[in-house]
Structure 1
Amino acid sequence: MTTKFGVDFLKAVAGYMSQNGSHDSIIKCFRITGGGNGRCIGEFTVTKDHLNTHGGLHGGFIATLVDNVTTYALMSKESHPGVSANLHVNYFQSVKEGDEIILDANTLKAGKTLAYVDCVLTRKFDGTVIAQGGQSKFVKITGGGDGKCTAEFTVAVEHLNRAGGLHGGFTATLVDMVTTYALMSKPCHPGVSVNINVNYLKPAREGDDVIIDASLLRAGKKLAFLECELRHKKDNSLIAKGGHTKFVDFQ
């Protein structure tokens, strides 16, 4: 597939997510072989690092694969990656070190607030299904495209600091993620962060509805520059304003 959200896009997303030093790096063995338009296909070879104490493929590793690969599939549907609302895996057949495994993830439905994606893992040499899983993802993006992304959320207790206000670290995480979604809508490689800055202007409390508006200011050959504002939905008052510079030269 040669569309802007095809295989090259999927490889860029997978490369970024598996090389950023987070838990996602444990699936850097996964090689994308096809996909686009809501689908992601790939494979990996089982190594000792993937095994449980009984010598079989670790259930937690399978769940991480299902989580990530279904997210790649969803993003190729021109949807943002969302956050997991439900993740499930059924384990059918054991595999051993050296086995080659194929994963095929498909977006079943992508609505305004929820997306449903499933995934099948098969052993390459005989086509045996070893596991089947899927997830529902919360994807409340309200607008965007062409370098823009608008989203909203309701402040919950887990978003608060000890003083009962919106946590500064959580705000910075939102600036990081939503500006990245805006960048990828151009489309552009998601890149890696060079600088993130946030100015905190007004508190937000539990139950407040917050709108996040991110825009791509400029995307050059090496760097992309983005800005983001968080506002109270009820009166449009400015809560925080941030900026994000990303290195995007991964050709």
Structure 2
Amino acid sequence: MTASFDPAEAGWQTVALSEFMDLIGPVWQRHTDESTHYGLLVAEKHRNRNGVAHGGVMATLLDMALGRTSSEAQGGRKQATINLDVQFLAPVQVGEFLVAECRVVRATRSIMFMHGTLRVGERVCAVAQGTWKILGA
């Protein structure tokens, strides 16, 4: 996808998150039959010294998307990240639309085990596994 990609025209909606995520975003979301996907249009502000999306931006998008997916699976209960393990597989260029697809691997009464994938189109750019604590459980 190129810099001219418009998430709104493609059916994505902005999502209100936190002031911190506002620094990175806007973050976009789109509901599918299976889950909610989250997206970020990579801009100049996301570049590292090599000219591609900074790994911290990619990890932050995954952390947010996995946490929201986990919370959604638990009826909106508040949760906190216990751990997040990210593998960076391919660079993301400025102007590309990065999409996080997440799923629950396993759920217990108080812990959620999650998996996420970051893609640009069909290209897998990063994968992550993480664990979330359901607060108050």
SS of the equivalent of 1:174 reads: helix
Q: Which runs of 5+ in 1 are unaligned?
A: 1-78, 85-136
Aligned residues: 118
- 1:230 deviation in Å? 0.7
CA–CA distance in 2 between the matches of 1:217 and 1:80? Answer: 24
* Equivalent residue runs for 1:96-107 within 5 Å: none
| Aligned equivalents of 2:66, 2:115: Cα separation in 1 | 7
Decide which of 38, 41, 58 is 1:151's aligned counterpart.
38
CA-based RMSD of the aligned residues comes to 2.4
Per-residue deviation, 1:149: 2.4
Instruction: State the Cα distance separating 1:188 from its structure 2 match.
Output: 4.3
The normalised TM-score by structure 1 is 0.43
**Counterpart for residue 14 of structure 1:** none
Q: Higher Cα Rg: structure 1 or 2? A: 1
* Paired residues for 1:199-214 under 5 Å: 199-214=87-102
The Cα shift of 1:189 comes to 2.2
SS at the partner of 1:204?
A: coil
What do the CA deviations read for 1:174-209 (whole angstroms, capped 9, x no partner)? 111001111122214231111101000000111112
Structure 1 residues 188 and 145: CA distance shift in structure 2, 3 A: farther
Letter in 2 for 1:141: Q
1:247 aligns with 2:100: no
Identity %: 23
Which residue of the other structure, out of 61, 64, 78, is the alignment partner of 1:174? 61
Contact 1:175 1:242 in 2 (8 A): yes
Q: Structure 2 regions of 5+ residues with no counterpart? A: 1-13, 20-24
Q: Is 1:159–1:167's contact at 8 Å kept on the other side of the alignment?
A: yes
On the 8 A contact 1:183/1:190 being kept in 2, the answer is no
Q: Deviations 1:35-78 (Å, cap 9, x if unpaired)?
A: xxxxxxxxxxxxxxxxxxxxxxxxxxxxxxxxxxxxxxxxxxxx
Q: In 2 relative to 1, CA 220–144 (structure 1 residues): closer, same or farther, beyond 3 Å?
A: farther
